[in-house]
């Protein structure tokens, strides 16, 4: 079994990107907007800022109170859209309930949408002609490449159909000529489907959801889940102890997909800066 060490792969990619940033005529700049005081969001924003620091990317943080109105948030996004020194804009999700995420995402100019959540960028991904890839699926593709798997003709099963992970993940696998199945909460006989997978991606949000009997021996298993247990420990969606002996490669949690997500955000920010200064 090969452990797909996202920490090590992301560190390598970050070093390469740091060298690239040094050669750029413009210093890339990422604006991160955080509304409210959700502790998990705070951790994610801090990690993104740290990623920027490591690479010599300028990061701007805008922390807004949870009572912020839609108009106030849109006004900030507008100002960031207009600011030529800002290349990437990221609004940390989820937003407080009174704010409309769809409208907020649509307000970000597609060329600054480094999360690749804007419908224009989603559409570009669909047709395979894109500038940015959504960070988590893009990071997973890097890890699958690291496993040495050629996806052509392979059976890939994605559990989860969110716009952030499941759906774009399936599309990226399809672009690499895999045969892709998306499973979700209404899927009948899930185990029967997952057992066919040469590559199994779990993005469910339930600890130990994927058990050994759901996995085909020799499969590559990608665990996207980040679940906090009562004792404070982080765990994924896969029963790592039981599944790792039968998988040919597997990602740990933490230290698998998570660090790759940050590296891909940095890559998108660099791409945005380069494209806006061509
Ligand atoms: P989500 O809640 O939007 O989607 C969960 C999906 O799981 C849904 O599509 C649902 O249909 C499916 N599901 C739920 N119960 C199921 C069941 N019993 N059988 C089959 N499918 C079922 O979640 P998301 O935003 O896609 O995130 C999924 C997990 O990945 C979460 O733990 C999240 O924290 C984590 N995540 C990690 C990263 C990272 O960088 N590592 C990034 C994004 C999300």
Which residue CA neighbors atom 3 of ligand 1 most closely?
A: 162
- Tokens standing for 238? 């896969």
Ligand 1 site, residue 6, Cβ cutoff 6 A? no
Q: Which domain holds residue 95?
A: 25-109
Round to the nearest angstrom and report the end-to-end CA distance of the chain: 44
- The CATH number given to whatever domain includes residue 191 is 3.40.50.720
Q: Which residues of the chain have pLDDT under 70?
A: none
Q: Tell me, yes or no, whether 54 lies in a domain.
A: yes
pLDDT recorded at residue 2: 96
Q: Is 166 in the pocket of ligand 1 (CB under 6 A)?
A: yes
Do 159 and 248 sit in the same domain of this protein? yes
Sheet strands (E) in 68-144 = 88-91
Quote the number of domains for the chain.
2
**Does the residue 277 lie in any domain?**
no
Please check whether residues 164 and 102 belong to one and the same domain.
no
Of 82, 81, 141, the C-alpha closest to 113 is: 81
C-alpha 149 to ligand 1 mean position (Å): 24
Query: How many secondary structure helices (H) and strands (E) does the chain include?
Result: 10, 11
**161 and 215 both lie in a single domain:** yes
82 lies in the same domain as 139 = no
Residue 119 lies in a domain: no
For ligand 1, whether the C-beta of 185 sits within 6 Å is yes
Q: 232 and 141 in one domain?
A: yes
Tens-place pLDDT, residues 10-61? 999 999 999 999 999 999 999 999 999 999 999 999 999 999 999 999 999 9
Claim to verify: residue 90 and residue 166 sit in the same structural domain:
no
Q: Is 96 in the pocket of ligand 1 (CB under 6 A)?
A: no
Q: Domain for residue 121, yes or no? A: no
Residues noted as catalytic: 48, 92, 115
What is the pLDDT, as a whole number, of residue 264?
A: 98
Q: What confidence score (pLDDT) does residue 199 get? A: 98
**The pLDDT of residue 200:** 98
Residue ending a domain, choose from 56, 75, 109: 109
pLDDT of residue 263: 98
Q: What is the pLDDT of residue 111?
A: 98
| Residue 17 included in any domain | no
Same domain? For 72 and 179 the reply is no
Residues 140 and 102 in one domain: no
Lookup: tokens for 52? 């920027």
Q: Does residue 241 sit within a domain?
A: yes
Residue 186: asked if its preceding bond is cis (omega within 30°), the reply is no
Residues 58 and 163 occupy one common structural domain: no
pLDDT at 168: 98
Q: If you measure from the C-alpha of residue 69 to the centroid of ligand 1, how many angstroms do you get, rounded to a whole number? A: 28
Same-domain check for residues 65 and 142: no
Cis peptide bond prior to 254, omega within 30° of 0: yes
Distance separating alpha carbons of residues 2 and 26, to the nearest angstrom: 39
CA atoms within a 13 Å half-sphere pointing along the CA-CB vector of 266: 30
Q: What is the CATH number of the domain that holds 42?
A: 3.40.50.10860
My answer on whether 54 and 155 are in the same domain is no
Question: Does ligand 1 have an atom closer than 6 angstroms to the CB of 183?
Answer: yes
Indicate whether 161 belongs to any domain: yes
Do residue 148 and residue 101 come from a single domain?
no
Say whether 199 sits in a helix, a strand or coil: strand
Residue 166 located in a structural domain:
yes
DSSP lists the bridge partners of residue 33 as: 62, 91
CA of 86 to the centre of ligand 1 (A): 31
């Amino acid at each position: 079994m090969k452990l797909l060490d996202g920490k090590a792969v992301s560190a390598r990619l970050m070093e390469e990107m740091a060298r690239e940033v040094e050669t750029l005529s413009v210093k890339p700049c990422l604006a991160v907007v955080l509304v409210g005081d959700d502790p998990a969001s705070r951790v994610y924003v801090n990690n993104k800022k740290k990623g920027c620091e490591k690479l010599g990317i300028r990061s701007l943080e805008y922390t807004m109170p949870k009572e912020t109105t839609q108009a106030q948030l849109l006004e900030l996004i507008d100002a960031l859209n207009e600011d030529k020194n800002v290349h990437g804009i990221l609004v940390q999700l989820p937003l407080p309930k009174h704010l409309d995420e769809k409208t907020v995402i649509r307000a970000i100019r597609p060329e600054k949408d480094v999360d690749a959540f804007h419908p224009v960028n989603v559409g570009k991904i669909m047709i395979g002609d894109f500038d940015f890839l959504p960070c988590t699926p893009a990071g997973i593709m890097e890890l699958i490449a690291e496993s040495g798997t050629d996806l052509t003709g392979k059976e890939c099963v994605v559990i989860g159909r969110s716009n952030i992970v499941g759906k774009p993940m399936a599309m990226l696998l399809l672009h690499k000529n895999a045969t892709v199945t998306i499973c979700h909460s209404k899927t009948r006989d899930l185990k029967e489907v997952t057992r066919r997978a040469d590559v199994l991606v779990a993005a469910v949000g339930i600890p130990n959801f994927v058990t050994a009997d759901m996995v085909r021996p020799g499969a590559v298993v990608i665990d996207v889940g980040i679940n906090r247990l009562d004792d404070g420990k982080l765990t994924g969606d896969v029963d790592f102890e039981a599944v790792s002996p039968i998988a040919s490669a597997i990602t740990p949690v933490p230290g698998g997909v998570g660090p790759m997500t940050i590296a891909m955000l940095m890559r998108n920010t660099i791409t945005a800066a380069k494209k806006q200064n061509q």
